[in-house]
Amino acid sequence: MKNMETTYMGIRLKSPVILGASELSTDSDKLLRAEEEGVGAVVFKTLFEEQIQMESFQLDEKISQYDEIHAESVTHHPSVEHSEVEYYLEKLRRAKEKLTVPVIASLNCVNESTWFRYAKLIEETGVDGIELNLYQIPVRFDLDATAIEQMQINLVTAIRQQLSIPVSVKLSSDYTNILHFVKRLDEAGVKGMVLFNAFFQPDVDIRREEHRRAFNLTHRGDYKKSLRYAGMLYGRINADLCSSRGIYTGEDAIKLLLSGAAAVQVVSAVYRNGVEQIGKINREIADWMESKQYQSIDQFRGKLSDSVLNKNNNLLIYRRAQYIDTLLHSDRLMEDLEW
């Protein structure tokens, strides 16, 4: 097999395929199988503030019901005691001890003090890095985007300064100017950017006239926005890029690597097809590299990024040209469709 090594968060990985945060990453048997299938790293299931603070206070219902529920998680805010949080940290520690591949923790909190305390406790488990899951639903009309972003920059900077392990940030795509915000995170010393988070959205049961929650897996092709921004960010920041959402095949992963991602996170693909899908993605990448005579991922990563294409004056590929081309050649595209 070709050299599949890549660097993410400054950590050398044997494969660009990462198992993302989910219930899957808490199952020791599945983790060992993922390692056998050649997974590059594992992001352990997210620890949420609701788990940490369950006994001491109850978050506002409007915030906690749908705010920052990871879209790839099976359960919603499990009802756990503080002892179970300790159990979570112990499982994280054991995962790190059992696996030879890097283990990255994931944390999502609301209160600043909780972020700081548990980021430090997580570091003490021996993990290789930590992924900060920042997103919160805006609920205040008087808080503008600048204030929200500044609070998050301050938070990430403070956490990074107190930890010795590399820090990544899992981003929402909802920022007014995601490029500017990522640049500021990069300047704050963040080592990895995950593009992008997916969230559960509220739905309504019209028969019962009540809200309902559904477990929604991503669909193949949901990576398109990640592809665009990986292509625009590559070569312009120091942090490594990781694409997420709707990555199911080696072809999907290759597209994102060509655009500039250093790695990809998969979850839904593994839920639908089993842990062996990781090995299949790796083999498909290796076969493609063989057909193109690439000896390493570094030889083609970012080849189709905005910064590289700019050298050839293809200024609008990621910004607008594809949309214009689609409109101008819609008749040709229609002819290519199979009816």
Which amino acid is residue 53, in one-letter code? Q
Query: Is the CB of residue 155 less than 8 Å from the CB of residue 188?
Result: no
Residue 304 pLDDT grade (very low, low, confident, very high; cuts 50, 70, 90): very high
Which amino acid is residue 200, in one-letter code? F
**pLDDT tens string 72-109:** 444 444 444 456 788 899 999 999 999 999 999 999 98
How far CA 76 is from CA of 47, 68, 114, 263, in Å, comes to: 12, 10, 20, 27
> Phi and psi (nearest 5°) for 53?
-100, 10
Residue in 20, 46, 10 with CA at minimum distance from that of residue 271: 20
Q: What's 12's domain CATH number?
A: 3.20.20.70
| Separation CA 48–CA 67 (nearest Å) | 11
Q: Does residue 319 lie within any of the structural domains?
A: no
Residue in 161, 127, 152, 117 with CA at minimum distance from that of residue 42: 127
User: Is pLDDT above 80 for 275?
Assistant: yes
Q: Does residue 57 lie within any of the structural domains?
A: yes
Number of domains in the chain: 1
How many residues are recorded in the chain? 339
Q: Which residues have a Cβ under 8 Å from the Cβ of 137 and sit 6 or more positions away? A: 63, 66, 67, 68
Q: Does residue 64 lie within any of the structural domains?
A: yes
Instruction: Pick the most confident of 108-112, 245-249, 304-308.
Output: 245-249
Structural domain that includes position 230: 6-304
Which residue's entry shows tokens 């406790």? 121
> For the residues 112-138, what does the mean pLDDT come to?
91
Q: Where are the beta strands (DSSP E) in the chain?
A: 6-8, 11-13, 17-19, 41-43, 47-48, 103-108, 129-133, 167-171, 192-195, 203-205, 210-212, 240-243, 263-266
Q: Does residue 180 lie within any of the structural domains?
A: yes
Sign of CA dihedral 308, 257, 15, 180: positive
Q: Does residue 315 lie within any of the structural domains?
A: no
